[in-house]
Structure 1
């Protein structure tokens, strides 16, 4: 299957028809335990749902195929995946180098949950390779990359950062949630591991919570797998099945997300109400050339800086209709959020604080003319206040 095109792998990897009935969709194995043929005689290797489940295994096969990995693990949430990865690889005294624009939950996990365990975290501008070199320490074990980043859509040269990190003995983890494997495969660019909130583009329909770790290097599989088994934050069978179903349309969905987002970004740059438009598809974006080289499209996310300031940003986020005010992203419907008080409230007052005039758009797959009209009426509404 590895020689097949992406869209084909998304539909067929791990999705063999049921051998008993011929059902083209593999069943949901909604079972907490499995009967043994004698003590230790596991049928198909299955013992207990926390240790393994056929539905989850199908999803994990699919995830590994999408990212070109040697293995994958599916978790109850994106943060559960990140936690298992970090606890599986790191030990007290280790250091993580983190980008200076990342999901607030990742920063919170590292600086409030893992810091008391003895894990040090510093941030740097990872798009500046000299800054990466300067920030590495002898005890750096992980360089954590988001590209495009959340919410300012910064672009990091994965291959260049991987070369620098590996020379220093550090592993590279890429959070590929914003791009999805439909647009970017970090393992092929030198990353060692990929993480996802599968809640977002992989699930794609705002109806399931999940996370994933995909391995490009065998040496990390055992410790992270043990962490998952020992702590137990696995995806439930129904959640795994819903994610698998979503992935089958990932390729076509992400193409539409990307087309719509670029059209909106190009519309927004001509509007005086926006002082900044953050989208890597714009030729004016500082990471545009790198994004064009390492991605096959620019994604469905963009952020806008309201020229009139924070109050205008808050009002705009509350004035749209098709763009519904909510956290999360990557669903077929469009969402708008105010990161300083929503997704990134945990980094307020830190070096990672999001500018308070910024709103974030998750552009859905609706008709783009309707989406632009909705944004225009939102602007008109706040102008009339």
Structure 2
């Protein structure tokens, strides 16, 4: 086979890139090791930045998002028994939209297939070759038959555990592992509040969010080595009630638990994000803890840069945007990495926390909710920083 851009990974990054390239008349093939059913059902983040929503609209895949997405103009911060609402729209003139990552994936898959896009699922033994030359290759096995894809560029959008990053020689990897994890549940229960609640409690962090007006998404801080079997539904609900309770009489809505799991937390950045004709995007190059809701949004920002850089190459003969990809992308990545670390550190109880560090965290939170400057800084990062200038392709 022959195409212009070979994309490894059919998550939001790979699928969105394929869609944005198609709108410019640039061909691509997407290879995914999992089944279509698996990637469409995989529960992940659901808070979309303002710019992510705009990008999905530009890509022509936002019809269902605009109909079903929950627009949030504020968020709630809860500590010391009180709830404080930050008005995002008032602070920075924009908000966020709650719409599950798996729904974004469904929309992108449908759009690509409707347009005749080449998406291949359940691909095995994927390997990358000749990345230093002008004709890189991807070899793979599809339905027990060997295949080979010749292309101009390879984009590794295959996640943290994928093969692509290993093909960047001399890379530097920065990593921080947090001393806690999240126990998350999906519940068949209407959210108790219309906006997200971030809660710091002496027993640990808790988050009240949602996926729809009928489905709540809730999290508890737990130890990294926590055994999920030790958390029956009754214990989870009891702990959520404790940590999310406040002096204003908040009442948690409970229901059937549809899904639950434990997610470890790490910060990870790999640089550079490219080598020869290989370009990395999304979790293949960076991971952030979910506290700041940046994971998928960073992937979209990477892809937005890549789509314009590849468009400039094919439509205008330019190579400068591709050459600057790592530097440009990492500016946002490191800002989001710091914001995610800050939110995580401020809201979680450290295993060795003492009265002094607890009071420091409370003072930090009090500053956020009482100072317009601090609240604005949080809102600016949470709703998404402006994109780099959108360059002309020609």
What's the TM-score, normalizing by structure 2?
0.27
**Which structure has greater strand proportion?**
2
The structure whose RCO (Cα within 8 Å, separation 6+) is larger is 2
